[in-house]
Structure formats: C-alpha cells, structure tokens
C-alpha cells in the first residue's frame, strides 16, 4: 500500500480529530463552562431573593399582638420578633445586592421600586421597635403588599424554567410584565412613596 494513500486514509482524519479536540478543549470549552457557571449563579441569586421575600412575608404574618396590660415578657417576645423581621428585610436587601449586573440593568425599574418599599418597611419596623407597645397593624398590612413586588421575581424564575418561546418572550413580556409593573406602582402610591 502506498504511503500517501495510507496517510490520507488514516493520518489526515486523526490529525483533524486531534486539532478539533484541541480547539474545542482550549478555546470553546472554557467559555461554555464560564457561561454555565454564570447562569447557575444568576439563577441561585434570583432564588435567594424569592426565599428572602418568603421569610419576610412569613415574619410579618407571625407577629404576635400583645395587649397593653400584658406582662413585660410578652412585650419582649414581640420586640424579639420585630428584630427577627427587621433582619429578614435586611436579608432581602442583601439578596438583591447579589443579583447580577445584567439582571439589575434589565429590571432596573422594578429593582428601584422594590428597594424603596423594602427600605420603607425596614424603617417602619425599626420605628416600631422604639414604641411600647408596638403597633403592628401597619407592618402586617405592608407585609400583605410584599407579594405585589415579589411576584415579579417569582414570575421571572418560572418563566426562565419554561421551554416555550411564546410563554417566555411574548406573553410575559407584553402582558404579564405590564400588569406586574402596575401592581408594584400601586403599592408605592398607597404609601406615598416616590415612583421615580
């Protein structure tokens, strides 16, 4: 058998396969791995925001009402719950601060609204910590409003899980997003918070 024929039959495919493997391994794979890690980290950060909202909402719902004539230890329990709740709202701020720059830039308007409302609630909780006995009606009412801001993040996570292009891109972008923006604006208006 001719050496040239042998090389073209076996040598060229082996060289092409080695070259392709090296190109993929050293050029494409690192970028793909970095993109995969970034997508996983972004998803985990959005999940962290959703979980932080859930902790805060549960804390608002579990605040104990203490009568004026209750023993001091009951008021201390209430104050402790308020401290836990204030920490939970701080957790929302921390979780939102960890979101990727790309997400923050794409969702800038909702991020500002959410930050404003969460900061307002945290300030209200701190003010109630100074009052004896604390009045929890306002905090509980605001806690119920949290879902109007949280649903945006929950929807974003759910949409990202969807494999349907129509659901992800068209329906949510053109119908749901407008509705969610309107709801969060209404929450800010109810409490007299600036919209811009």
| Rg, C-alpha atoms of the chain | 26
3-state percent helix, strand, coil for the chain, nearest multiple of 5: 85, 0, 15
Tokens of 39: 């997508």
Phi, psi for residue 90 in degrees, rounded to 5: -60, -35
> What SS3 string covers 38-81?
HHHHHHHHHHHHHHHHHHHHHHHHCCCCCCCCCCHHHHHHHHHH
Read off the pTM.
Answer: 0.76
Average pLDDT over residues 30-44: 86
Tokens of 101: 């720059």
Note the pLDDT of residue 66. Answer: 76
pLDDT tens track for 46-104: 889 999 999 999 898 888 877 777 788 888 888 899 999 999 999 999 999 998 888 88
- Indicate the angle between helix axes 137-161 and 177-190, nearest 10 degrees: 170
d(CA 144, CA 29): 46
pLDDT-derived band at 177 (thresholds 50, 70, 90) equals confident
């Amino acid at each position: 058998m001719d050496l040239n024929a042998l090389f073209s039959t076996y040598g060229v495919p082996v060289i092409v396969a080695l070259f392709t493997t090296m190109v993929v391994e050293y050029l494409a794979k690192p970028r793909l791995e970095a993109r995969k890690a970034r997508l996983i980290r972004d998803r985990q950060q959005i999940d962290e925001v959703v979980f932080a909202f859930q902790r805060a909402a549960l804390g608002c719902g579990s605040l104990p009402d203490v009568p004026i004539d209750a023993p001091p230890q009951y008021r201390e329990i209430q104050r402790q719950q308020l401290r836990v709740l204030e920490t939970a709202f701080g957790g929302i701020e921390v979780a939102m601060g960890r979101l990727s720059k790309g997400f923050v830039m794409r969702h800038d308007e909702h991020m500002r609204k959410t930050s404003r409302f969460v900061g307002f609630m945290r300030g209200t909780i701190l003010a109630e910590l100074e009052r004896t006995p604390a009045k929890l009606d306002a905090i509980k009412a605001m806690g119920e409003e949290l879902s109007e801001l949280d649903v945006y993040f929950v929807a974003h996570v759910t949409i990202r899980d969807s494999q349907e292009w129509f659901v992800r891109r068209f329906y949510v972008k053109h119908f749901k997003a407008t509705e969610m923006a309107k709801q969060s604006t209404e929450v800010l208006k109810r409490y007299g918070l600036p919209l811009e």
